[in-house]
Structure 1
Amino acid sequence: MPRLKPDTQRARRDNILEAAELCFARAGFHATSMQDICREAGVSPGALYVYFSSKEDLIAGLAERNRQEFQARFAQLAEATDFFAALEGIGNAYFVEDEAHRRQICLEIGLESTRNATVGEIHRSVDEFVASNFENLFQRMIDDGRIRPAHSAAALARVFMVIGDGLFWRSAVDRKFDVAKTIPDVVEVIRQLLNPVADNMSRQPGKPLGEAAE
């Protein structure tokens, strides 16, 4: 049998991850079997096990994919001319534009991390990665004189994580929750926490460059 091209292998692996994500979000980690994932992905068990040896291995794959997506989105935020507009854009990407099952799987992984040591380690690794990125960014903004917060960069990062967790939970479990309407309010609260100093840090979220905050 000819060896698959790298692009084909990546596509098959991504297809299996997407199927696993849908199954876990729909039925939960424990109720989902590897056979369920095979059916969702349209692959044989042998094809699935070429890429993933267990459900925990699938969770690790999803976590790594999410980490890479976060890195790409975070890089845009870190280099943005208008930090708060970029922050609002990332909020919309995660909580409005991404499909609902992607938020549900985050909750499922979080819950499973309290019962499964392997999943717990994966969850903590991603959590620490996200928190450290925000802490480093806030420290850089403080050092550059862009913000003058009353709290340390580490404390701000912890608050960011709590806000993010709350948005993931509320948007996943409350069908009446209008997350698109809430995100600008959340960004304004974050503005107050960061206490921006420089002119390019003081525009209202969503306003174009050059339009000063009132």
Structure 2
Amino acid sequence: MPQSQPLVAEPEGEAAEAPMTRAERRDQQVMRILDAAKSCFVRSGFQGASMHQICAELGMSPGALYRYFPSKEAIIEAITEADRSHEAEMFAAMGENPDVVDGFVKAAIAHLRYIHESGNAPLFAEIRAESMRNEAIQLTCHQSMGEVQTSFRTYFEAAMRRGEIDPCVELETILPVMMAIGEGLAINDLPAQGVSLDRVEALMRVTVEAMLRPKRKLYETT
């Protein structure tokens, strides 16, 4: 009689997955810390939340946490850095749009949708408030906002050279105004208040069109 072949069980679930590398385990732990820190910052505020609170949220010893982050400021810097990957995707999509107004508006709405769906609006407000009194966080915020503003400037200047837009005033004024409007929209999280992002997009489109393609210059003499 032919001998039967031994049955080999197929790996299932986690056993079928390749083991994580040390770098992957570290990245996973960092994300756990950032998520726990976000919860603490939103619940207690940056001033009220302590590294010990974050440890309790994680079930991690202080010594272990400090191996990853030496301070709350370092955690905020990491949270900001993590969001830059989303911003990079947003800018890439914006740059591929042949219509500069449409590209800017869609990128802005995508960012507002991300802030809403991720639940980051309260955290964004807390970080912004803390930046008013904490120089380290202020530096992180200014660096991040500066990079965003530089991307917008490059985008608009290229459109101006192509003759696609003729802003109502100089970009040195338009860009900070746009950034302030965007920051206010992000902090207020209008979808959470029942305001449709479709409505926000329609209003934003009219506003940006008026800024970048005005019927007459704001300071034009008659």
- TM-score, normalised via structure 2 length: 0.76
Partners of 1:21 and 1:101 within 8 A in 2: no
* Aligned twin of 1:5: 22
Change (3 A) 1:7 1:43: same
**Correspondences of 1:110-149 after superposition (within 5 Å):** 110-149=128-167
Indicate the larger mover: 91-100 or 73-82: 91-100
Provide the aligned length of Structure 1 versus Structure 2.
193
Q: Which has the larger radius of gyration?
A: 2
Partners of 1:63 and 1:126 within 8 A in 2: yes
**Correspondences of 1:1-214 after superposition (within 5 Å):** 5-98=22-115, 99=117, 101-171=119-189, 176=193, 178-180=195-197, 181-195=199-213
Instruction: Show structure 1 runs of 5+ residues with no match.
Output: 197-214
Q: Using the TM superposition, give the Cα deviation of residue 67 of structure 1 relative to its aligned residue in structure 2, in angstroms.
A: 2.6
Q: Using the TM superposition, give the Cα deviation of residue 79 of structure 1 relative to its aligned residue in structure 2, in angstroms.
A: 1.8
Q: Using the TM superposition, give the Cα deviation of residue 56 of structure 1 relative to its aligned residue in structure 2, in angstroms.
A: 0.8
| Distance in 1 of aligned mates of 2:114 and 2:76 | 22
Summarize deviations over 1:47-92 as a string: whole Å, max 9, x none: 3212101101111111212233212211211222344444444334
Indicate the larger mover: 44-53 or 86-95: 86-95
CA RMSD of the aligned region, Å?
2.5
Change (3 A) 1:41 1:191: farther
| Distance in 2 of aligned mates of 1:84 and 1:45 | 49
Change (3 A) 1:102 1:185: same
Partners of 1:77 and 1:86 within 8 A in 2: yes
| Distance in 2 of aligned mates of 1:101 and 1:36 | 20
| Distance in 1 of aligned mates of 2:21 and 2:64 | 12
Partners of 2:100 and 2:159 within 8 A in 1: no
Letter in 2 for 1:188: V
Q: Using the TM superposition, give the Cα deviation of residue 108 of structure 1 relative to its aligned residue in structure 2, in angstroms.
A: 0.9
How much identity, in percent, do the aligned residues show? 28
| Distance in 2 of aligned mates of 1:22 and 1:179 | 26
Partners of 1:103 and 1:168 within 8 A in 2: yes
2:49 is paired with a residue whose SS is coil
Q: Using the TM superposition, give the Cα deviation of residue 134 of structure 1 relative to its aligned residue in structure 2, in angstroms.
A: 1.0
Partners of 2:100 and 2:156 within 8 A in 1: no
- TM-score, normalised via structure 1 length: 0.79
Of structures 1 and 2, the one scoring higher in RCO (CA 8 A, sep 6+) is 1
Partners of 1:132 and 1:157 within 8 A in 2: no
Partners of 1:56 and 1:118 within 8 A in 2: yes
2:48 is paired with a residue whose SS is coil
Letter in 1 for 2:166: R
Change (3 A) 1:44 1:86: farther
